[in-house]
Structure 1
Amino acid sequence: MCYTPIDQRHRHTGNTKQIVGGVVLGPAAGLVICQYSDDTAFYLFGCDAQWKSQSDTWHEELEDAKAQAEFEYEGTSKTWRLPGEL
Protein backbone atom coordinates (compact mmCIF):
# COMPACT_ATOMS: atom_id res chain seq x y z
CA MET A 1 0.00 0.00 0.00
CA CYS A 2 2.72 2.48 1.05
CA TYR A 3 6.15 2.78 2.65
CA THR A 4 8.54 5.29 4.18
CA PRO A 5 12.20 5.13 5.04
CA ILE A 6 12.85 6.27 8.61
CA ASP A 7 15.44 9.04 8.50
CA GLN A 8 16.21 12.53 9.86
CA ARG A 9 12.64 13.64 9.04
CA HIS A 10 11.32 11.32 11.75
CA ARG A 11 11.62 10.97 15.50
CA HIS A 12 11.46 7.55 17.13
CA THR A 13 9.09 8.31 20.00
CA GLY A 14 9.75 5.26 22.14
CA ASN A 15 5.98 5.02 22.69
CA THR A 16 6.08 1.28 21.95
CA LYS A 17 8.57 -1.55 22.26
CA GLN A 18 8.82 -4.19 19.57
CA ILE A 19 9.96 -7.46 21.17
CA VAL A 20 10.90 -10.40 18.95
CA GLY A 21 12.21 -13.62 20.45
CA GLY A 22 12.57 -11.91 23.82
CA VAL A 23 14.80 -9.17 22.37
CA VAL A 24 13.76 -5.50 22.27
CA LEU A 25 14.30 -4.20 18.74
CA GLY A 26 15.85 -0.82 18.05
CA PRO A 27 14.28 1.75 15.73
CA ALA A 28 13.20 0.54 12.32
CA ALA A 29 15.01 1.67 9.17
CA GLY A 30 11.72 1.76 7.27
CA LEU A 31 8.00 1.16 7.61
CA VAL A 32 5.70 -0.59 5.15
CA ILE A 33 1.92 -0.90 5.19
CA CYS A 34 0.60 -3.94 3.32
CA GLN A 35 -2.69 -5.67 2.74
CA TYR A 36 -2.85 -9.31 1.69
CA SER A 37 -5.15 -10.03 -1.25
CA ASP A 38 -7.31 -12.40 0.80
CA ASP A 39 -7.54 -10.12 3.85
CA THR A 40 -9.35 -6.88 4.67
CA ALA A 41 -6.91 -5.88 7.42
CA PHE A 42 -3.71 -3.84 7.09
CA TYR A 43 -0.28 -4.69 8.47
CA LEU A 44 2.36 -2.20 9.56
CA PHE A 45 5.80 -3.74 9.18
CA GLY A 46 8.95 -2.37 10.81
CA CYS A 47 11.87 -3.19 8.52
CA ASP A 48 15.66 -3.26 8.66
CA ALA A 49 17.93 -1.42 6.21
CA GLN A 50 17.40 -4.15 3.57
CA TRP A 51 13.59 -3.81 3.94
CA LYS A 52 13.37 -7.19 5.68
CA SER A 53 10.42 -7.28 8.08
CA GLN A 54 11.45 -7.27 11.74
CA SER A 55 8.06 -6.66 13.36
CA ASP A 56 4.42 -6.16 12.47
CA THR A 57 1.14 -4.90 13.86
CA TRP A 58 -2.41 -5.62 12.68
CA HIS A 59 -4.90 -2.84 11.90
CA GLU A 60 -8.52 -2.91 10.78
CA GLU A 61 -8.21 0.25 8.66
CA LEU A 62 -5.40 1.84 6.63
CA GLU A 63 -5.71 5.05 8.65
CA ASP A 64 -5.26 3.05 11.86
CA ALA A 65 -1.96 1.65 10.55
CA LYS A 66 -0.80 5.13 9.57
CA ALA A 67 -1.81 6.50 12.99
CA GLN A 68 0.21 3.74 14.68
CA ALA A 69 3.22 4.60 12.52
CA GLU A 70 2.94 8.27 13.52
CA PHE A 71 2.60 7.25 17.19
CA GLU A 72 5.87 5.31 16.91
CA TYR A 73 7.75 7.63 14.51
CA GLU A 74 6.70 11.27 14.40
CA GLY A 75 6.76 12.66 10.88
CA THR A 76 5.61 9.58 8.97
CA SER A 77 2.27 11.19 8.10
CA LYS A 78 4.18 13.49 5.72
CA THR A 79 6.53 10.97 4.13
CA TRP A 80 4.47 7.98 2.93
CA ARG A 81 5.27 6.89 -0.63
CA LEU A 82 3.37 4.63 -3.00
CA PRO A 83 5.03 1.49 -4.41
CA GLY A 84 7.30 2.41 -7.30
CA GLU A 85 7.96 5.95 -6.03
CA LEU A 86 11.54 6.84 -5.15
Structure 2
Amino acid sequence: MIQQIINYHINWLEVTGFTAQQGRWFYALLSCLEKPLTPEACSSLRSLARACANLRASLETKEDPRLIPLNLLICLVARYFDQGDLADKT
Protein backbone atom coordinates (compact mmCIF):
# COMPACT_ATOMS: atom_id res chain seq x y z
CA MET A 1 0.00 0.00 0.00
CA ILE A 2 2.81 2.42 0.86
CA GLN A 3 4.49 1.79 -2.45
CA GLN A 4 1.25 2.56 -4.31
CA ILE A 5 0.93 5.85 -2.44
CA ILE A 6 4.56 6.70 -3.23
CA ASN A 7 3.89 6.02 -6.92
CA TYR A 8 0.79 8.24 -6.78
CA HIS A 9 2.84 11.06 -5.25
CA ILE A 10 5.62 10.64 -7.83
CA ASN A 11 3.04 11.03 -10.62
CA TRP A 12 1.62 14.06 -8.84
CA LEU A 13 5.13 15.50 -8.42
CA GLU A 14 5.84 15.17 -12.12
CA VAL A 15 2.58 16.88 -13.08
CA THR A 16 2.26 19.65 -10.49
CA GLY A 17 5.80 20.26 -9.31
CA PHE A 18 7.15 20.15 -5.76
CA THR A 19 5.68 21.70 -2.63
CA ALA A 20 6.83 21.63 0.98
CA GLN A 21 3.69 19.74 1.95
CA GLN A 22 4.40 17.08 -0.64
CA GLY A 23 7.96 16.83 0.64
CA ARG A 24 6.60 16.08 4.10
CA TRP A 25 4.41 13.35 2.61
CA PHE A 26 7.39 11.77 0.87
CA TYR A 27 9.43 11.89 4.07
CA ALA A 28 6.63 10.23 6.04
CA LEU A 29 6.14 7.55 3.39
CA LEU A 30 9.86 6.82 3.18
CA SER A 31 9.97 6.38 6.95
CA CYS A 32 7.40 3.57 6.60
CA LEU A 33 9.44 1.55 4.11
CA GLU A 34 11.37 -1.40 5.42
CA LYS A 35 14.69 -2.65 4.15
CA PRO A 36 15.51 -4.70 2.21
CA LEU A 37 13.43 -3.12 -0.50
CA THR A 38 11.36 -5.09 -2.95
CA PRO A 39 12.41 -4.57 -6.59
CA GLU A 40 9.20 -2.56 -7.17
CA ALA A 41 9.88 -0.28 -4.18
CA CYS A 42 13.47 0.19 -5.34
CA SER A 43 12.24 1.20 -8.78
CA SER A 44 9.79 3.67 -7.27
CA LEU A 45 12.45 5.26 -5.09
CA ARG A 46 14.79 5.59 -8.04
CA SER A 47 12.00 7.31 -9.98
CA LEU A 48 11.46 9.64 -7.04
CA ALA A 49 15.15 10.56 -6.86
CA ARG A 50 15.32 11.19 -10.61
CA ALA A 51 12.19 13.36 -10.51
CA CYS A 52 13.64 15.35 -7.60
CA ALA A 53 16.96 15.75 -9.42
CA ASN A 54 15.17 17.00 -12.55
CA LEU A 55 13.18 19.52 -10.53
CA ARG A 56 16.30 20.62 -8.67
CA ALA A 57 18.09 21.20 -11.98
CA SER A 58 15.26 23.48 -13.09
CA LEU A 59 15.49 25.77 -10.04
CA GLU A 60 16.64 29.24 -10.96
CA THR A 61 18.49 30.17 -7.76
CA LYS A 62 20.24 28.48 -4.88
CA GLU A 63 17.96 30.42 -2.53
CA ASP A 64 14.86 28.59 -3.76
CA PRO A 65 13.12 27.12 -0.68
CA ARG A 66 12.53 23.84 -2.51
CA LEU A 67 16.26 23.14 -2.86
CA ILE A 68 16.85 21.76 0.64
CA PRO A 69 13.88 19.36 0.72
CA LEU A 70 14.69 18.10 -2.78
CA ASN A 71 18.29 17.49 -1.72
CA LEU A 72 17.08 15.66 1.38
CA LEU A 73 14.87 13.30 -0.60
CA ILE A 74 17.65 12.55 -3.09
CA CYS A 75 20.09 11.93 -0.24
CA LEU A 76 17.70 9.62 1.61
CA VAL A 77 17.10 7.50 -1.47
CA ALA A 78 20.79 7.40 -2.36
CA ARG A 79 22.32 6.87 1.07
CA TYR A 80 19.75 5.25 3.33
CA PHE A 81 18.12 3.08 0.70
CA ASP A 82 21.48 2.12 -0.83
CA GLN A 83 21.05 3.65 -4.28
CA GLY A 84 24.53 5.18 -4.26
CA ASP A 85 24.71 5.72 -8.00
CA LEU A 86 22.04 8.41 -7.57
CA ALA A 87 24.04 10.29 -4.92
CA ASP A 88 25.62 13.64 -5.63
CA LYS A 89 29.34 13.24 -6.17
CA THR A 90 30.84 15.66 -3.68
TM-score, normalization by structure 2: 0.26
Q: Greater share of helix residues, 1 or 2?
A: 2
Q: Greater share of strand residues, 1 or 2?
A: 1
TM-score, normalization by structure 1: 0.27
